[in-house]
Structure 1
Amino acid sequence: MADTSGTSPAANFLETMKSYTKTQKGFILAAEIVLGFVIMICYLSSNYGGYSGVAICEMVFAIIFFVVFMMELDKRFHVVHWVWSDMFRASVGCLLYLITSLVCVIRGAGDGPLIAAGVFGLFAGIIYAYDTYTIYLQLRSGEQQTAVPSSDKV
């Protein structure tokens, strides 16, 4: 007979995802993923779909880091410094979203989806900036904790 009391791996994955989304970092990454999807749809439905590459790339990178941090792969794979990589991802995402969103809002006269993508992109740029700030605080507090105490003896 099959054991029906055990939980499936899919249920464990969903529970892990729900519990990680309740953390501050998980909520920020989930918001970045959702906004990236909305922005991508707006760009693709506008007359100028060329800006969708920014939304697609940033959404894919946010999904990758969401999975890495959710599954705690950053604690097992020490080849990559995940916090610095996340800092680079968030800061580049902030700059790209702010620049492309301002261009879309200024240029988008008569194209409603392009203006909507620009407005959502400005929100995404703010969220990416906040993510960069929280990562900076994490790096700063980590450097203070790992500092080697100096001795007064010469």
Structure 2
Amino acid sequence: MADTTASGSPSCVERLKSYVKTQKGFILAAEILVSFIIIICYDSSWCGGFTTLPICKMTFATIFFIIFMMDLDKQILVINWVWTDLFRAGIGAVLYIITSLINFIGGSGDGARIAGAVFGLIAGLIFAYDTYTIFLQVKSNRQHSAAPTDDRV
């Protein structure tokens, strides 16, 4: 019988705890949490049609959180995860800022809609910061891999 208490790989909870302590894990967890708060705010407002964006962004952030936490990005090499994450975060930042400004301007008299717009602007800033950190990662990877040169003239 095998000993189940002394396994070589860490459990899922241990991976979760250690990944949330990293910068990328903290950013993704913040994106998930703020998107969930926005879903609650928009759902309780009079105009609940704006919940699609936070639902999609929370779902994508959760998927990327699980992929990066379980190191599946190093096993699935068909997808360029850095560029995919860059597009996810960039599109999220732009859409959150646009949607939040629309709700902030047109939400007079609806406190939940205004609260959702304020949290949406915060989410837009979080997604923009995530885009910036990923861009720095792409930029540093590009500088480290120089193209081969030919010495012949």
TM-score bucket of the superposed structures, by smaller chain: over 0.9
Query: 1:123 — aligned with what?
Result: 122
Alignment partners' CA distance in 2, 1:2 and 1:74: 30
Q: Could you tell me how far 1:150 is from its partner in structure 2? A: 2.3
- Hey, what does 2:107 align to over in structure 1? 108
Give the counterpart letter for 2:71 in structure 1: E
User: Can you give the 5+ residue segments of structure 2 that lack an aligned partner in the other structure?
Assistant: none
Structure 2 letter corresponding to 1:153: R
What residue identity is the alignment partner of 2:17? K
Counterparts of 2:18 and 2:4, CA distance in 1: 24
Identity score, percent = 57
**Which residue matches 1:150?**
149
State the shift of 1:147 in Å.
Answer: 1.5
Computed over aligned residues only, the root mean square deviation of the Cα atoms, in angstroms, reads 1.8
Question: For residues 29 and 4 of structure 1, what CA distance do their matches in structure 2 show?
Answer: 31
Q: How far is 1:149 from its partner?
A: 4.0
1:153 is displaced (CA, Å) by: 3.3
1:33 correspondence with 2:36? no
Distance 1:14 1:43 in 2: 31
For the structure 1 residues 72 and 2, does the alpha-carbon distance in structure 2 shift closer, same or farther, using more than 3 Å as the test? closer
The aligned amino acid for 1:113 is A
Q: Which amino acid aligns with 1:119?
A: V
**Counterpart-to-counterpart distance in 1, 2:140 and 2:4:** 46
Cα distance in 2 between the residues matched to 1:150 and 1:29: 39
2:11 aligns to what SS in structure 1?
helix
TM-score, normalised to structure 1, is 0.92
Shift of 1:148: 2.2
Q: What TM-score do the two structures reach when normalised by structure 2?
A: 0.93
Structure 1 residue ranges without an equivalent (≥5): none
1:81 matched residue in structure 2: 80
Q: What is residue 43 of structure 2 aligned with on the other side?
A: 44
Q: How does 1:90-105 map to 2 (within 5 A)?
A: 90-105=89-104
Q: Deviations over 1:11-41 (max 9, x none)?
A: 8111101100110100000000000000000
The separation in 2 between residues aligned to 1:44 and 1:23, in whole angstroms, is 32
Moved beyond 4 Å, runs of 4+? 1-4
Deviations along 1:97-146, one digit per CA (max 9) or x if unpaired, are: 00000011111111011000000000000010000000000000001111
DSSP-derived class of the 1:96 partner = helix
Match of 2:62 in 1: 63
